[in-house]
A and B are shown apart, each in its own frame.
Chain A
């Protein structure tokens, strides 16, 4: 394969502290050269992407998505989910184990990994279950899962409700260097809940989900992480109180990391007005005060990463009474565009945004799967090229994902992925991208 030269762009690589105009060369699937403005490419014979005016950064890493295969192939498959990811600028996605069967054994993890190699277009790193069958009763075979290559353990979709099981999971995982990723939700407080508790729920006559349902579990998990010395990763933080709990835990030296989704960073509960089932998500879209606290938490590194919690559903799933609709937003393809609105509004720097999607999730994954989340010479050529200024309208008919369930449908976003390179291969490119192939 011919080398690929990506020319004349703004190169942003937080892992190396680079934010500069330059070019880079990809050969044999790795980054082979990184040059400053004016430097001459060492390869005379290469395909060329003219990236003038664009941002070139490491391929995005999503630590939390649902690819739905096996078991829910009508909602998404590894083939469609990875294409959606590539379209969204992601080159690595970590898929949650709430499939049927769940990813609680070497066999199911291997199935996902091999299907991803055969049918997917980017790297898929599975997350294994905490409990057998995701039933919240007995620990899954965590050592076997670790050797199968899971990047962490989660019963996502469900909280690990039993405190004793959560304690044992944290303790048992300690030797594997992988986090327990908890979906923090006190289900005795959320049963029947549909949307954020507050005046919007009151107005719509829907049962609310209080912030405390998340915060009480975050507090419990932090206490157990402190008790066990193990690594807790808090999934999809959605409330100001959770941010504060994580902030204090970190200050105390407790090993805790946390993620936030683009929708919790950019949307509020008002999106549900009119009973839009596509805005029904768990944890629910919260208040403006929560959104502000999440942004602040991201900026002060209380929240380590941004993860999509991409949760595709069919149109039929969502075309029903609000109370009957499943929770979840299809988020891979709108992640960058919605996050860039925060950048354009001055809430988030471009460097922070890129770091939270690249170098930071790479740190959580570790180096077991190669040198991820950087454009360092020798690293796999996983590269995202985006136009920070381009405006576009979200048209779900053009989604690569089977899940068209987004409250952003028909919204105008500013910031668009122009190309995604995975292992040196161009796995997605926008038609407007200037691409010159030789020979």
Chain B
């Protein structure tokens, strides 16, 4: 069952003048991370997403592009939002969807992943959307499965579809990504969302500033090196958000305090909560993003979360369109 990564032909592009003008080639068999995406590929995803949004605005939000294809969501970690978003995306493209979830407690050994994968292989899945608590699990899947793998979040490593929908949302409002200042605040260390955002934002030419307690920052950042994009570090939230174009706060898991990374939630709120007065230091039209689910009153004040600059609900809505675009690009298909 061992298979090498296949290189797929670029599928027919959706009708979009911007995309066809550049005709970039889609070369990915899997979406494991965004660290090897070129700016052109990300633009292609955006223009495909534009086309998908047009589909979603129709009275009947369904196209036959992936009819007869089977898309499996294989979740080793509980998730409602991401899974539903993928399922809706697949259904809108007329694919058949199957959901498989495994409780975290039963996954103590790797065999179960390999076992599940061989079952899915035998059942003829075309795309497997995988969410896993272990970083790198989708890479293992991609090595042993014929199907295309979409990483729906692996450990602390990557959450490419979330990052792409974040970028798409920013682009929708700002018209571009290049040259923007984007600030990411919170638990960067454990955040696959932050990691994928750093990669894709810097690929598209944004400047990224990270703001976090030093215990929640991963090692080795803040200077030029080969294996990670260049980011700025600013532990002081007020300085960090100064003249920002977009501010993203991350969910703070309560267990971070229990495991000794923070003295108290109270102190975290005092130092790192995005509230109205801090947001006022950003540009007046700065966007507020959050990958959800939001801990209101912890990493973000309710007023900011629901305020005029918040695009949190649009992120969710755009998630379906971005995932439709990615599934479409991966599996190919007929015209939409």
Contacts and interface: CB of A to CB of B under 8 A. Distances in A.
Given A204-B157, A205-B195, A324 B225 contact: no
B195 to A, nearest CB: 6
Interface of A: 197-208, 210, 270, 273-275, 316, 319-325
Contacts of B139: 274-275
Contacts of B179: none
A198 B110 contact: no
B111 A205 contact: no
B134 A323 contact: yes
A203 B195 CA distance: 8
B132 interface: yes
A206 B155 CA distance: 8
B241 to A, nearest CB: 23
5 A-B pairs with the lowest CB-CB distances in the bound complex, closest first: A320-B110, A205-B157, A199-B220, A275-B136, A205-B156
Contacts of A275: 135-136, 139-140
B110 A202 contact: no
A205 B158 contact: yes
A200 B158 CA distance: 14
Contact of B137 (A199, A202, A316, A321): A321
Contacts of A273: 227
Name, among A198, A204, A208, the residue most crowded by chain B CB atoms within 10 Å (CB to CB): A204
Interface string B214-255: 000011110001011000000000000000000000000000
Contacts of A204: 135-136, 157
Contacts of B110: 319-321, 324-325
A420 to B, nearest CB: 34
Contacts of B220: 198-199, 201-202
Contact of A322 (B108, B109, B136, B221): B136
A205 B192 contact: yes
A274 to B, nearest CB: 7
Contacts of A210: 219
A321 B116 CA distance: 13
A207 B190 CA distance: 9
B219 A208 contact: yes
B229 to A, nearest CB: 10
B35 to A, nearest CB: 7
Interface string B28-62: 00000001000000000000000000000000000
A383 B6 CA distance: 48
B135 A206 contact: yes
A203 B194 CA distance: 11
B135 A320 contact: no
Contacts of B108: 324
